[in-house]
Structure 1
Amino acid sequence: MPSVNIKITREGATAEQKAALIKGVTDLLATVLDKDPASTFVVIDEVALEDWGVGGLPVEEYRRQARAKS
C-alpha cells in the first residue's frame, strides 16, 4: 500500500492539475513497481510561500534574485 506525499507552493494549482498529479503518480507506481492503484494513496499539501525556502532564502526572495540574474 504505497503512500506518496506531494508538497507544492500554494499558488493556485487547479483541481484539474492536482487530479493529473494524483493520476500520474498512481500510474507511475503501477507501471514501475506493479502497485495496485486501488491501494495507492496520494496526498497533496499546499504550503504558503512564506513557509517554503530554497537556497537559504524564502522562495519569493529566491525567485526575485533568480529573475535579476536573468
Structure 2
Amino acid sequence: MPIVNILVTREGTTPGADRTTADQKAAVYKGIADLLFNVMGKPREDTTVIFHEHEIDDISQGGVPLSAYRRHRARVGMTDA
C-alpha cells in the first residue's frame, strides 16, 4: 500500500487565497494515485495520500524561517526557476 506525504506551506496560489483549495487537493490526490498506477502498477484504491499544510514560518531554509529566506532571495535577485 503506497503512502504518500505531501508537505506544502499554507499559502494560496492565487490572489486572496490563503491555503490550498479542496479542488486543488482533489487534483493532487487523483494525480498521485494515477501516477503510481501508471508508473508502478499500484492500484489507485490502495494509495493513501496525506496532505500537510504548514504555516510558512513552521519551515526553515538556510537556517532561517522560510519567510526571511524568501525575502533575502528577493533582495539579491534570486528566483525559484
**TM-score, normalisation: structure 2:** 0.81
What does residue 3 of structure 1 align with?
3
> How far apart, in 1, do the equivalents of 2:9 and 2:35 lie?
22
Unaligned runs of 5+ in 1: none
> How far apart, in 2, do the equivalents of 1:50 and 1:66 lie?
16
Unaligned runs of 5+ in 2: 12-18
> How far apart, in 2, do the equivalents of 1:68 and 1:19 lie?
35
Runs of 4+ residues over 6 Å off in structure 1: none
Tell me the matched-pair count. Answer: 70
Name the % identity.
Answer: 44
Of Structure 1 and Structure 2, the greater helix share is in 1
Supply the RMSD in Å over aligned alpha carbons.
Answer: 0.9
Q: Does 1:51 align with 2:58?
A: yes
1:23 aligned partner, one-letter code: K
Highest RCO, 1 vs 2 (Cα 8 Å, sep ≥ 6):
1
1:25 aligned partner, one-letter code: I
